[in-house]
Amino acid sequence: MASVLGQMRPGFTTTVDKMKLLSSHASGLVIPLGPFSRIKRSHAFAVSCRLSSNKDFAVPRRGAIAFIFSSFILSHPDLRDAAFAQSVGFREYVDTFDGYSLKYPQNWIQVRGAGADIFFRDPLVLDENLSVEISSPSSSRYKSVEDLGPPEEAGKKVLRQYLTEFMSTRLGVRRESRILTTTSRTADDGKLYYQVEVNIKSYANNNELAVMPQDRVARLEWDRRYLSVLGVENNRLYELRLQTPEKVFAEEENDIREVMDSFRVNKVVA
């Protein structure tokens, strides 16, 4: 597992699933901002996705229209801010083959080939995404998430893994990181889960090849929050990872935490 204990890897912003076009020619028309994701082919027989809120609204050429509408929203700051200020609906993703389930914003799209077991991202804010990492069944024998130690110790391992993944060979790149919170909770399934939140900032010099230090001015490249939920089942370690810019997190914390609270690890029936 490219996950915790030296084998972990990283990864929403609340965008609006549906918006009404404020036009007399399109009054009442609802256009989804992005196509709904499909389950991965390899698990098609075992994975089910279903809406936990409203049903899809059928729109001809949905993908093309969604792209045009998304571009329109992004080009108008007033409409974009209004969109981000609202909450979205969620879809439920259930993987009975690997044994986990979660909710994700229903306008997010699935990205294949990302290296994780599953990967979804916001179609408008590309820095917002979630993924699930699972340890190898042949090399892990976890009995409980407590095998990682207390939450504080697990948090240190999570942060170290993130920093390893973000190592850069570019000159003048510097990372600043800190652990924000480490907690444990028992969910309604009776299982113990750890939650870890870290902040990582990336700085880079505007002229890394400059000879004089005063000509190498560090600037902030990105400032992100990474949130992990860790659980154990089937002798395997599961990690839900969420990535979001700090500014977006401040606006959409409730939705992000709903996704975190929805994560469950389930027994796989052989």
Residue 169 has what pLDDT? 78
In the 8-state DSSP scheme, what is residue 11? -
| 101 has a pLDDT exceeding 60 | yes
Identify which of 35-49, 156-170, 201-215, 219-233 has the greatest average pLDDT: 219-233
| 173: phi then psi, degrees, rounded to nearest 5 | -95, 135
Confidence label for 237 from pLDDT (cuts 50, 70 and 90): very high
90-135+143-265 has which fold? Protein Transport Mog1p; Chain A (3.40.1000)
Mean pLDDT of 44-73: 46
CA distance readout (Å), 43 to 91, 117, 179? 18, 10, 35
Residue 107 region, left (φ>0) first, then alpha (ψ -120 to 50), else beta?
A: alpha
pLDDT digits (tens, 9 = 90+) for 18-39: 333 333 343 333 334 433 333 4
pLDDT digits (tens, 9 = 90+) for 180-208: 999 999 999 999 999 999 999 999 887 66
Confidence label for 172 from pLDDT (cuts 50, 70 and 90): confident
Compute, in degrees rounded to 10, the torsion defined by CA atoms 194, 106, 78, 126: 60
Compute, in degrees rounded to 10, the torsion defined by CA atoms 114, 119, 124, 128: -100
Determine the Cα–Cα distance for residues 241 and 174; give it in Å rounded to an integer. Answer: 23
